[in-house]
Amino acid sequence: MPVLSVRDLSIEYRTRRGPVQAVRDVTFDLEQGETIAIIGESGSGKTTLAVGLIRLSPRSARVTKGEIRYDDGKRAFDVLSLDAERLRRFRWADCAMVFQAALSAFNPVITIWEQFLDTGRAHGMSDKHKVHDRTRELLDLVHLDPKRVLTAYPHELSGGMRQRVLIAMALLLDPRIVILDEPTTALDILTQRAIIDLLRDLRARLGFSTIFISHDLSIAAELADRMLTMYAGRIVERASVEDLFYRPRHPYSVGLMRAVPRVSGALGSVASIPGSPPDLIRLPRGCSYYPRCPFHVEQCLEEDPPLLQVDTPQHEAACIRWEAVAAALGSDAEAPVAEKLA
């Protein structure tokens, strides 16, 4: 039984120029203990989706349709139907979010301890001592010294330390689901490594399910069980991590794989994706990836392709030309895409 089931979720923003369809018909399941990575670039809708899952979207955003079904075995409900009080209890206790560790994720004028206390109190932990004990426990888990961190102000901590604090804060109420928005972006290499190892460790110990949102393919490669690639507000491919990296079937996924240079191994034929993402207010008819796609045909303009099953039942791609993509990549199942296209 998946702990989170999202069906046909669509979110739009009101802007001066018209409504922006930031998220369109997103459907996916998150199983217990699983880690999903949602990969996309600017304009893909991934951040809108992430904040939309716990209904933290700004006022100008509206969910136009869909449902977000949460089911932990004991309770089941649609997150979108919750009233304010129950939503507050859902947030953090059932599903928590770790934001990017920029300074703006913190209140700059209070200490870290006070932030923990505030967070605990806001979500039903009224006993100060309980919050304190739990905070110390969590700070130990994330390898931070409570003595040093609790009395500090956010600007006194390094980026890596702030990220750890945010992770600890998210785990305050022992949630079942943790959503992380760009957890390693803007961090140094060694710090990224430490955070990735930490997340792996925490996941093993505490057993929560995870959703990563990122533009960084490598974090998906490190931690994800399954991946979704998003483009122009839609999910364009859904697969296990090996399938997506070694056997991508949507041209955008292929393009992404080719566009990321690696440090180890051969460089292969790395190349950028030409063009830019479409205008989300005036979406063209048919497949939104059409102008940038090397595999496109006339038929692609007729309608937005639905997710079609490719190769295996767990692998889907929103492309009517997926077979041509498969053929172009050849039969070597294990080699990375850039080498296959070299």
Which of 54/157 has CB closer to another protein? 157
> Interface with another protein includes 334 (CB under 8 A)?
yes
The three-class DSSP label of residue 32 is coil
Using an 8 Å Cβ cutoff, are 143 and 124 in contact? no
**Among residues 91 and 234, whose Cβ is nearest to another protein?**
234
Q: Which CB, 241 or 310, lies closer to another protein?
A: 241
* Minimum distance from residue 240 beta carbon to another protein (Å): 10
Q: Residue 196, interface with another protein (CB under 8 A)? A: yes
Nearest to another protein of 142, 211 (CB atom) = 142
State which of residues 28, 208, 245, 322 lies at the interface with another protein (CB under 8 A). 245
Provide, rounded to whole angstroms, the least separation between the CB of residue 293 and another protein.
13
Contacts of 34 (CB under 8 A, 6+ apart): 209, 210, 225, 226
Q: Is 241 a residue that touches another protein (CB under 8 A)?
A: yes
Closest approach of another protein to the CB of residue 174, in Å: 26
Q: Is 33 left (phi over 0), alpha (psi -120 to 50) or beta?
A: left
CB under 8 A: which stretch of 104-112, 175-183, 201-209, 255-263 binds another protein? 255-263
Nearest to 311 by CA among 234, 226, 248: 248
Of residues 4 and 254, the one with the C-beta less far from another protein? 254
- Candidates 276, 299, 309, 314; binder of another protein (CB under 8 A) is 276
CA proximity to 135, closest of 108, 109, 173, 100:
173
Asked if 136 interacts with another protein (CB under 8 A), we say no
- # of chain residues touching another protein (CB under 8 A): 47
Beta bridge partners of 12: 21, 62
Bridge partners (DSSP) listed for residue 178: 96, 210
Contact 227, 244 (CB under 8 A): yes
Going by C-alpha positions, the residue among 117, 120, 70, 118 that lies closest to residue 94 is 70
Interface with another protein by CB under 8 A: which range of 52-60, 75-83, 96-104, 212-220?
212-220
Query: What is d(CA 84, CA 95) in angstroms, rounded to the nearest whole number?
Result: 15
Query: CA–CA separation, 183 vs 203, rounded Å?
Result: 15
DSSP state of 107: -
Neighbours of 64 (CB within 10 A): 14
Q: Which is nearer to another protein, 272 or 331 (CB)?
A: 272
Tell me whether residue 84 or residue 263 sits nearer to another protein (CB atom).
263
Mark the segment that binds another protein (CB under 8 A) among 48-56, 262-270, 299-307, 323-331.
262-270
Site of tokens 């992430």:
50
Positions that interact with another protein (CB under 8 A): 15-17, 41-42, 143, 158-160, 184, 188-194, 196, 215-219, 221-222, 241-242, 245, 255-257, 259-265, 267, 270-274, 276, 334, 336
